[in-house]
Amino acid sequence: MNQQVHTTRTILLALAAFLAAAVCPAQSQDETGLHAASGTITVNGKTMDLKSAIAVWNEKEKAIVIGLFPFQAGAQDAWVVQESGVLALAAVRPSPDESVWTKTPAGGIVIRYKKRPKTLVLKDVRAFSVRASWLDDPGKTHAIGRSTAKQFAEEISEFGGNLTKIGGEIHLLAAGSDYLSGVYMDWNIRVDARVYAGKKQK
């Protein structure tokens, strides 16, 4: 029963975001700047161009979770990602190319810490991963993780920002590639985005 309630709530949240985007599709230059992403993520030869990002601090996981999308997302979408995650938003947006994707793909970056940082510097990062969902297969999510300072330095060329209890901002430039379990993945990602505070953890 609880699972049904959660699923229904997720659908309603995503529908609300879809309706908000339909009513207010245009974004000002300042609004777009708060959720800026560019670059690509490729999985097994299928490439997704990135157009926007929504970043959220997850207090329970001590991580910044950045959703990467092939469509313009903004403040009206952030609460869906806060409440239900990156894929809840992608699920209600039209495919950028229906001849390639039957479901709208999405990407993600997860940056883990030991505790919530005030200033974002690379030396404090504990782990870093890049994710791609529904990109090569509508039912699969792939993730490539990094956990050493050497790997961070090789693949993250620019990193900065700040974080408070009510949010912050992040700047990131990362590029890399890897082959894992029959999946080849490469990425070239730039993010300049607001970091939203996550939902209250129980």
Contacts of 152 (CB under 8 A, 6+ apart): 122, 125, 128, 146
Cα(199)–Cα(135) distance, rounded to whole angstroms? Answer: 27
Residue 80 falls inside a structural domain: yes
Measured between alpha carbons, how far apart are the two ends of the chain, in Å?
19
Which tokens go with 118?
């005030």
Residue 202 falls inside a structural domain: no
Residue 147 falls inside a structural domain: yes
Task: With CA atoms as reference, report the closest residue to 184 among 68, 51, 92, 47.
Answer: 47
Q: How many independent structural domains does the chain possess?
A: 1
Domain span at residue 17 reads 2-197
Residue 108 falls inside a structural domain: yes
In this prediction the pTM is: 0.84
pLDDT in tens, the chain (202 residues): 444 444 444 454 454 444 444 433 433 334 556 899 999 999 999 999 999 999 999 999 999 999 999 999 999 899 999 999 999 999 999 999 999 999 999 999 999 999 999 999 999 999 999 999 999 999 999 999 999 999 999 999 999 999 998 899 999 999 999 999 899 999 999 999 999 998 754 3
Residue 128 falls inside a structural domain: yes
